[in-house]
Structure formats: C-alpha cells, structure tokens
Chains A and B, each alone.
Chain A
Amino acid sequence: MRWSRREVLSLILGAPLATRLLACDRPSQRETPREIEGRLLGQDHRAGHRLRSSPPGDDIFARAPVQTTEVVIVGGGPAGLAAAYQLRRNGQRGMRLLELEAELGGTSRDHRGPSEALANTRAPHAFPWGAHYITQPLDHNRPLQSLLSDMGVLESDGRAVREQYLVRDPKERLFYRGFFYEGLYPAIGATQEDRRQWQRFGAKMQALARMRDGQGRPAFAIPMRYGSDDPTITELDRISAATWLTKHGFTSERLRFCVDYACRDDYGLTLHDTSAWAMVLYYAARIDPATGRGTQVITWPQGNGALVAFLRTSLAADQVRSHSLVVDVVPKPEGTGVSVHAIDTRSGKPMRVDARCAIVATPAFVTQRIVRPIRERTAGDADRGRQVDYGAWMVANLHLSERPQERGFEQAWDTVLHDSPSLGYVNATHQRGRSFGPTVWTYYLPMTDRDARAGRRRLFEPDYSHFRDAILLDLRRAHRDLPQKLARLDVFRWGHGMIQPRVGTVWSPTRRTTSQPLGPIHFAHTDLSGLALFEEAFEHGVRAANEVTAVLRGSNG
C-alpha cells in the first residue's frame, strides 16, 4: 500500500497538526539537505511470534543442556535486576538471570558508548532509549533510599539527594506560539480565572498528599504498597482524569493541558483515558506531606540506564544469560523446585535451568504465556489477555553536531511543544552541564489511542523515513535549522512499551492477586502495580527476593 506524505504524517502526528504544519512548511525546507543516517530499532521480534504459539514439548528440554542453581530470575529489566540486587544483599549467591534481549534493562535501557555520528569528545557518551527519571524517594521507601545511598546519589544522611543527581535548573521549558517559556504551564496570556484554578489545583493536590485513610496509611504513595487500598480512595480508579477535573470545576484549558501532558508523559494516555486515581497519584504521591513541597526529580545523562548499570553489578558475568527466550516455567512435582525452559535466540537451541525457586520478572502479557500454571488455568479464556492494555511508544535519539537556533527561554532538561502529540525531547548534555556543542536529544512519542491496538498499528505501519520526517516537521517549528545540525536520527519502537492505567484497570480485582507466588514461582514486574514506574518495578523485585530468601532460609534451617 502506498501512502501519501500527508497521510503518513497525519498517522504519526495526528491530522490537524500535520495539516497545519504542512501548510506552513516551505518546500525549500522540506527536503532534508542530505540523507540523514539512522535506522529503526526495536525489541526482538521473533520472541513475540514464538510466545504466541504453544511452547515446544517437555521432551525437547528434557534432553537439552541444563544448569542448576538456587534461584532463577526470568527477565533482566529493573524488576529482575532489583531481585538480583536484593538476593545478593540477603547473602544469596546462587542465582542465574535469563534475558531475552542482547542488553539488560528492559524499557529502562540506554545507549552506552560514544555516538558514532558525532566524532567529538564533547558529545554525549550515553543517552536513554526509554525511562529517564525517578523521583526522590520519601522516607517510607527505605529500600530505594538504600539503593541510592549505595550508588552515592544520596548525601551521607541517607535522605537528601546530592545536587548533581537532581535535574539541573532549568528543568523544563515550553514552546508556545513561537517562543520558549520557562516551565510547563503556559502562563503567558492566562486569565485571572486560569491562575486561580492553577493555584486551587496545587492546593487540592497538597491536601490529597496529606490525606490518610482509616488505618493511618497515606491515601496516595509510591510504591503503591505504602499507600491506601481503601475503597473510598480507590474508587477514583473508576472515573477518568478528565471527569475528575470537570467534577472539581477545573475547566481551565491551560491547567488541563498540563494535566494531560502529565498523563501522556507518565502513562502514555490522554486525560480522557487515564484513571483519575493514577492521575492523582502522579501529583499527590510526589509531594512530601511533611513539607508540602514536591519531591524532586533524579536523573542521569543516560536516564535510568544508570540504575540498571548499578543493579547489574550484583550479578557476575556468568550469572547472566542474554539472548535467552524463556518459553516455559514449570513447577516440578512435589515442590522440589522449578524448571525453566528457554531457547537461545541466536542458535535456536533449547536449554534448561533447574532451580529451587524462580522469580518471573517479565511483563504480564508474557508471564501469562510462559508460566505453565497460569497458562493452563487461562487456556481457552480468550479475554484473559485483554484485561490490560499496553501503550505503544516511539523513542527517537537525534544526534546533533551543534545546538540549533531557537527563540526565547534558554535550553532546559526537558523541552515541551505546546500542541504536539509528542512529549518533546530531553537533552542528554543538560545534566552533564554542557550548554554548547554536540548533543543528543531523546524525543518521545506515545501512541495515546483509545484502542491500544490501533496505536500499535500506527507505530508499525510507517517506515523509517516517515518517522524522521514527522519528527523534523514537529521540531522544526521551534528550531528552523534543525536538519542542518542533525547528524543522525534513530527510531526505537516499543510495541508494548508500558502498561496503561486506564479507567478501572489499576484496582481491578484480578490485578491485586497476581503478585502471590505460585508454589516455587514468585513474581516481580512493574505490571503487577498496573502502572509502569521504576519505583514499582524495584519494589516488586525486592519483595520477590525477600520472599524467596525466606523460603530458602526456612527450608535450609
């Protein structure tokens, strides 16, 4: 099928914006001056196909090479790595981790090593492909505080964050009607009423941050485990963020822009599809009830890849096996342990790891297919997989030889364009402290479709040049000479980027039971919380590791 330029750009950017941008796009500028290097990247495709069909029979794995260990971890994202980190802290050394991809980190992975396109020592040496930041943990989150302490991110008091790890001021800027302004709120031209609502919204969130339930737990906390599950609070999950705003008289377009941006940024959903509970969590759980001030953002030039790199040091090189697609997790009879069946994605050869316990740290849609007791329980239940939706994301890294032109407020960590379906871009040299010379921008575009599968189609139908053109069209209104400064542009497609906290999903009854172990099989992954955050992934990894440690100690002792 042949697509017209307008059709494809409308598909990626949405028809109204694409039409408008194309109208003021001068043909002279349209042609990229030279062929910009770059390619499409993504997760291992073969895995998806393999997992959709039923796994190879046990006889194949009975004859396959086998390794034995105490604990086998399936999935090397933050949750799996957090489990390894915690097992190590608990004194558990017998473990092995199987990861499907070549690289660890899951959706928090980064690119390490100098940019090939920018032959300059001042160019960034690391930049993210996915997750970018966490927020400063409050005191209830001791495990994360101690991780950050171990990393040297916290001051010696174990609480305050060293300033070089907090986002450097200025944090964000907004491109609005031709100019950059400081901050995210479009204050210019705001009416009295806009300002009143903005302030009232802040006060409302502060009140919600202080709120506690009957048992004295905070109403909203990250990780969710520390917050309330009281129905009077979780009932917010049944309405959308947009409905909640309207109900509370928050009608200001400017305010709603900011809240919509927050939902798209953290959850890949619009205001209309995000659970009001998740939206409130975004704000209220990030206010320190003690001081009433917002918790600050912690980041690294390579994003959360820095956390991944540190967690990985808990594992020796021979304890990690990448390129290993786990297809079956089988409890052994009579509680004698667990057998994990995997296929080497390069050779196609089967292999097996036998262990006393397994920690399955894969996304929920994978877990359902690879954990045998779950698969058997839900066989024939076609709806099982439909209960959660995954948002498709496009992440592009733009390698720039120099800073492009712009007008208005100076460069910030995060640059947002007011009426763009994208989230704008994060500048990789900002945290390093370089404001001049080569840099890499990480541009995020969530597919916020009401139907998640339509979003996935929008992600996989266009080809590389379409994405490149759409990104340039979107950014060139703020930076006219961007194409001249662009040395390379790579596009990463996350088909199942993150679980979406749609209305009614976070506090659905099924989600709440999925963290329970099934015999020797324990579970970790951010999906268990119903929303995708490093803090949740870390929490589940640590919890699963502690469960396993208790089991092993119990049986040893």
Chain B
Amino acid sequence: MTDPQNPVGPQEQPGGPAASDATATRSSQAGALPPPRPTAAPAPVTPALLLLTVLVIATAGLVYELLAGAIATSVLGNSLRQYSLTIGVYLFSMGVGSYASKFIDRRLAERFVDVEYAAALIGGTQGLLLFLAYGHAVAFSLLLYVTLFAIGMLVGIEIPLLMRILRSELDFKDLVAKVLTFDYLGALLGSLVFSIVLVEFLMVPLEQIGLLFGLLNCAVGILSTWILRRRIYPALRLRLRIKGTVVAATLLCAMFYSGRLRALGEQELYGDRIIFAQQSAYQRLVVTAGDGRVQLFLDGNLQFSSLDEYRYHEALVHPAMAAARRRSRILVLGGGDGLAVRELLRYPEVETITLVDLDPAVTRLARTLPALRKLNAGALEDPRVELVHDDAMVWLDQARRGPFDVAIVDFPDPNNFALGKLYTRRFYQLLSSALSQEGLAAVQSTSPLLSRESFWCVEASMRAAGLHTAPYHVPIPSFGEWGYVLVGRAPLAPPRSLRQKGLRYLNDGVLPGMFVFPQDMARVDAEVNRLNHQVLVRYYSRELSRIF
C-alpha cells in the first residue's frame, strides 16, 4: 500500500549523544533532539512486535479506505466513480503524509504514537460522522474528502516514521523488505476481513467496523508506548498512555451509542437503517429496514412501507379487477417493485402482465434484494410477466400494444414536469387507446385530502381525455388518506363485490364506502392538466408546501 518516499530523513539521529532525560526534555533547542538513552548504545526495540504493528496499521488503513468508498457509494451512488475517487484521494494523501514525515525530526516515537491515536480517532469515527451528515449532500462530500485526506495523511506518516525508528535495529535492505512486506500483507488482510468476514459474514454495520478498527489502531498506539518505551521519556510515557485511554474511551462510547447516533443522522431522511442505496440513471433508490418494516424511497419519497403496503396495493389492484369484464391481458405502468404484480397474480385467469417501468434498477432491486423479494413473493419472476424498461408515455405512444383488459398505473407523485406529464390529458388519451373497449384502469392519483386540488385535477384530466371515472380513496397509515381513480372507456359503476376473498384489508364491506367522498375531500373545480400547460405540477407543489 505505502510507497514511502525517502523514509530516512537527513537530520535523523537515532543514536545521538547521551543526555540526561530532564535536560533533553526541557531544552527544546534548535536541531535534532536526541532520544533519551541510558547508554550511548542504541536501545534495542523488539522488531518483531513493531512489525506486527505495521500489519495492524496497514489493515486498519485499508479498512478506512474501503469504508469511505462503501459509504460514499451508498450515499452518492455511482460506485465506480466513488471507489476510484476515494482510492485516488486516499493514496495521494498518503503520499502527502509520507512527504510530511520528513518534517518530523524529533521525538519520533512519541510522534508515532500520536499519529496512531489521531488515525484511530478520525478513522474510527469517520463512518459514523458520514452517516450523521447523510442528509446533506454538500456537507457529506466535504466531510468525506476532508476526513479521507486526514486519515490518508496520517497513515502515510506512520510507515516512514516507523522505518526511521527501526532503522537502527535492522540494516536498510532488511528494513525496507520487512516493513513493506507487512504493509502489503496488512492490506490483503484488511480487504479480506472487511469484505468477507465483517460485511458479508458477520454483517457488522459499516460505522461499527470503522470504530472497531479505530480501537485496534488505538491499541497499537498504546502498545507502542511499551514497545518503544526506551525511546520515550518516562514522563511522557504516562501522558501518552492517558491520551490513548481517552481515545479508546471515546471510541468505545461512540460504539455504544453508534446505533442511536446514526439513527439521528438518518432519521432526518429515512428514520430506519438503510439496507440498500443506489443512484440509478434516473433516480435515487433507498431501502430501509427497522422496527419490523421495510421501506422503499425513490428520490427521498416514500413508495411503500411493508407495514401497510398491502392496503395500498390491494386498493390499487382489486377494485379494477372486480369491475373488469375480462382479466386476461394486464398492463402495469410504473410499479417496478412488483407489489401490484403480486396482487394481480392471485387471479388464475391472468394470462399476461406487461410491466413498463422506466428504471431497470428498480425491477432489479425487486428481483434481487431479499427483503423486497420476500414482499413481492418473487412476482417479477413469474413466466406471465414481461418486463419493459422505458418511459411509460413514450412506450404507449410508440409501441401501440394492446388492447389490455386492465391497466394498473402507479407512478410517483407529480413533483416535477418529467413526472407530471404522466398525469396529463394526453397521457390518458394514450392509456385509453391501449385499453380494450370494455377495459379498465386504476390510477394512483395522489391524496384527495393532503393535495385535494391535485387529486381532482388528475380526475378532471381523465374526463377531458374522454374517460369515465370512478374516484375512490383508502386510509394508509404511512401516507395518510390516499386516492385512486378507476377509469374506463365505457361508463362504469363502482364494483360492489370483490373477486378475491381472503385479502388483508379489502372486503365487500369496505368496498362501497371507498367510493364515497366525505366533505373535506369532495370534488373541487380544477383545471385540466395538459402537456403544454402542466397545472398539476403547480397545484401539487403548492399543496405540498402547505403541508411542510
């Protein structure tokens, strides 16, 4: 890992003239300060033990670097870039450290221990700090690179210092060979321990791994005060040991509270522990787990919580399926999480499900992340399901597939123009032409309570497209009161009984009430949302700002 530049400084005098401890300590005159020696002969240190510290230092150094890369990837996405950047910055800062080591000419052993402590402290807490800064992209990047640079520099100082300390013990050829061997060995060890043992096998949370190696690093520092005791003035030895204890105690404390501290950082955004995070070409995907629930966020907006997603998806799928005359050819737009498909697959008469989702990363996640696979029961692997990755509107316009018996439309809320177009009159015209003459569609249409104008704007746009509508709503604890619209090319009546029994939320009792709107959610006049004039995006952002 390290590539020390000129580890042996010119002014270095490991075997300087004897001087009394007291004068040597106090008189900080210009020039090199000779290390304290009882005799003029070089004091032997235990090379074997010191080489072991090289191993530990190298292991810890590599782990810090990998950690930074892993956390950067999980927060900022784009793993290739994050890893190459962190490795690059880290190696470079090590170079800077190696160079800087030449300016340390006195009290090498003491400095070495100090450097160990500093590395332990910064390296150990880096992960935790980064998680605390999670919600703030700029602060996060800044912190990432500042700490990464500091750690790299400290690690870069360590090896040259150690070599200089060991210089009197070994001859130069031996010295370089041994130190570097242990250094590289440590790197290998670090990468193996980090990825295979800690992350994959023991599944230690990332910030804990950092703290663990911080402690190890600190231990090496404290241990060095014994190994190098002959080179440290007795008065300083104690001070160094106390310092070490303080660092270790800090790290232990952080470890103890890390769960709570980290939660504090993420709480701002996600509340729970992040088990998956990725920046795809289209959006930011985050899956969190905790408190017995799994949640999916797209661009920071909650898509579902495993605690009550059944309410959302049952209400999205079953009323349409109950009202439909035929149920063999199904279209799903959006909904790459596979949860609506899971509900659809309950119907044996379903022959094909065409799922169109913009982002391959979402369907990949739904198929591969165990927590999600469990939720959607592997729905996307069903042979009846065909996956298409495209913009739903462009696909409807260009593919001209169909006719479909039932369409399920489940897009994120219209909080920008790129999404808003999926709620326009033109979109509903295209949707209509993809449906069979008796075909039906159920459309997620924002909340009629929290964003009442938006909801009725969506409904008005559907009617403007010539569709018949039957709006309905359902209470979903994670979202609040949520709204959908059932649309058809022919006049439609709300369904009165379900075709699926044994659902978790819906039954024939609640069904009719869903189509009744209480006073505070009742229809309001709203403009039609059009491609050339997207009022919905404006309604929605206005209503959203009223809530937050």
Chain A contact residues, CB within 8 Å of chain B: 122, 162-164, 166-171, 296, 402, 410-411, 432-437
Contacts and interface: CB of A to CB of B under 8 A. Distances in A.
Contacts, number: 50
Interface string B231-256: 00000000000000000000000000
Nearest to B416: A410
A145 B358 CA distance: 37
A473 B530 CA distance: 36
Contact of A163 (B390, B420, B424): B424
14 contacts: A122-B390, A163-B425, A164-B426, A168-B532, A169-B420, A169-B531, A169-B537, A296-B532, A433-B397, A434-B394, A435-B418, A436-B281, A436-B282, A436-B358
Pick from A163, A167, A410 the residue with the most CB of B within 10 Å.
Answer: A163
Contacts of A434: 391, 394
A433 B391 contact: yes
Interface string B387-409: 00011011001000000000000
Contacts of A169: 417, 420, 530-534, 537
Contacts of A296: 532
B532 A167 contact: yes
Interface string B444-467: 000000000000000000000000
Interface string B506-542: 0000000000000000000000001111100100000
Contacts of B393: 433
Contacts of B537: 169
A166 B424 CA distance: 13
A410 B417 contact: yes
B531 A163 contact: yes
B531 A168 contact: yes
Contacts of B534: 169-170
A168 B424 CA distance: 11
Nearest to A161: B532
Contacts of B421: 168, 433
A169 B391 CA distance: 17
Contacts of A163: 424-426, 530-532
Interface in B378-394: 390-391, 393-394
Contacts of B397: 433
Contacts of B426: 162-164
A436 B419 CA distance: 12
B532 A166 contact: yes
A170 B418 CA distance: 9
A44 to B, nearest CB: 36
Given A168-B421, A168-B532, A170-B417, 6 more contacts: A163-B426, A166-B532, A169-B417, A410-B416, A410-B417, A436-B281
Contacts of B281: 402, 436-437
B104 to A, nearest CB: 33
Given A434-B391, A435-B418, A164 B531 contact: yes
B85 to A, nearest CB: 14
A434 B398 CA distance: 12
Contacts of A435: 391, 418
Contacts of A166: 530-532
A294 to B, nearest CB: 12
A402 B78 CA distance: 15
A251 B34 CA distance: 78
- Closest A-B pairs by Cβ, 4 of them: A166-B532, A435-B418, A169-B534, A163-B531
Contacts of B424: 163
Nearest to A171: B532
B543 to A, nearest CB: 18
Nearest to A296: B532
Contacts of A432: 394
A164 B530 CA distance: 9
A410 B418 contact: yes
A170 B537 CA distance: 10
A528 B137 CA distance: 58
Contacts of A436: 281-282, 358, 391
A132 to B, nearest CB: 16
Contacts of B425: 163
A208 B367 CA distance: 62
Contacts of B394: 432-434
Contacts of B391: 433-436
Pick from B281, B390, B417 the residue with the most CB of A within 10 Å.
Answer: B417
Nearest to B283: A436
Contacts of A410: 416-418
A170 B530 CA distance: 11
Contacts of B533: 169
Contacts of A171: 532
A171 B417 CA distance: 11
Nearest to A167: B532
B30 to A, nearest CB: 42
A463 B531 CA distance: 41
